[in-house]
Amino acid sequence: MEPTQVAIIGGGPAGMLLSHMLHLDGIDSVVLERQARDHVLKRIRAGVLEYGTVKLLRDVGLGERMDREGHAHDGSWIAWESRQPFLIDTKRHTGKYMWSFGQTAITEELYRVRAHDGGRVIDEIRQVALHDLDGERPWIGFEKDGKAHRLECDYVAGCDGQHGVSRNSIPTDLLRTYERAYPFGWLGIMSETPPLHQIMYAHHSRGFALASQRNPMLSRYYIQCDLATDLKEWPDERFWEELKRRFPPDIAGKIVTGPSIEKSIAPLRSFVAEPMSYGRLFLAGDAAHNVPPTGAKGLNLAVSDVFYLHRALVAQIKKSDGRYLERYSETALRRVWNAERLSWQLTRLMHVFPDDDDFTRRINLNEFDHLQASPAAQAALAEQYVGMPFEA
């Protein structure tokens, strides 16, 4: 194949956003994706965007549909059984807002603009292997339609998720991983119904629940469930009944029910791989880390990785300035661990764990009461929730 400056492994939002941003700076890239395009575009993922993510998408020309179909809000509500709900008021405490807009729509926009700009995106590839990552000229071997191909490049961006080949291409004696698996999952549905006006987390003795949104006529709801839960045992009627039980009655009464158009179970996991670089390979997004969705940080972390990696590649390729590439892993990881900490704290606070005892339950209740009563605690949470500024 014709060589490229940056080979990007993975055609999800991280890989496609990096390809688009590199194109804006005149840097060539090729995106290699294992799945078919229809599969990528139908994946249901996150939908809560930090202020910095919204700003970046607008800055790179991807804000029109987001502004038209998305929804700005001042933060997210937390409801607690027997307590008054309170708002994580990001607008009040930070002057910044959050945004609801589905990752699926973002991915659709990225594929649209890359097609318009003549971007090279090769999907349905097999037998992907990364070679000579610690040399001057790395290359990617893969199969497409039964034929072997070789793609030479200057740099490799590993954006292929937690099950991709990129992270596993780093020598095991150099790679260190940190993981926390959770003893429950989220049973989620999507319905073409008007959502609640604001995103709302709910703690209940029966388990956690979440009301989210994608657009004015598309709702996303979740309930905490056992990892062994069978979707066949959860028809829509049972889900709606259980969801409403976990919200305060006045809020439950505002939930508009309807047929589900998607239903799935997602396990929760905290995971970090260090370092996020090896030779001329640089990891971004889920290839390097995962967070439980409680903190709404997964997609936002992928965007921040891309921000740092794009800046570093542009400086190196256009100006022979390698300072940002040398610091890419440590810079990205600072934000990753901030997000991991917040996601862990919210997950521990809002969920019912199988080994919870009376002491733990009272500690969690006191933590909620402290958040509700303390403007300083609310401000600290809001600052983390809305997203820290990108490092200069």
The tokens describing 126, both together, are: 């097999």
324 lies in some domain: yes
370 lies in some domain: no
59 lies in some domain: yes
122 lies in some domain: yes
Give dist(CA 216, CA 70) in Å, integer: 8
At 218 the pLDDT is: 85
Cβ neighbours around 372 below 10 Å, total: 15
Contact 122, 33 (CB under 8 A): yes
Give dist(CA 294, CA 307) in Å, integer: 23
pLDDT in tens, 185-234: 999 999 999 999 889 999 999 999 999 987 778 899 999 999 999 999 99
10: CATH: 3.50.50.60
**In percent, how much of the chain has pLDDT > 70?**
100
Give dist(CA 331, CA 154) in Å, integer: 22
Average confidence (pLDDT) over 367-377: 94
pLDDT in tens, 331-350: 999 999 999 999 999 999 99
pLDDT in tens, 29-87: 999 999 999 999 887 777 899 999 999 999 999 999 999 998 898 999 999 998 999 89
Confidence of residue 102 (pLDDT cuts 50, 70, 90): confident
132 lies in some domain: yes
**CA 66 remoteness from chain centre:** 16
Helix axes 298-319, 13-24, angle to 10 degrees: 30
203 lies in some domain: no
264 lies in some domain: no
Domain count, the chain: 1
Residues annotated catalytic, as ranges: 73, 201, 293, 297, 385
Tokens 């991709």 sit on residue: 164
285 lies in some domain: yes
- Residues 323, 328, 331: CA angle, nearest 5 degrees: 110
Contact 309, 59 (CB under 8 A): no
Q: Look over the chain and give the mean of its residue pLDDT values, rounded to a whole number.
A: 95
Average confidence (pLDDT) over 288-317: 97
pLDDT in tens, 305-318: 999 999 999 999 99
What residue type is 323 in one-letter code?
R
The range of the structural domain enclosing residue 135 comes to 4-72+98-180+269-351
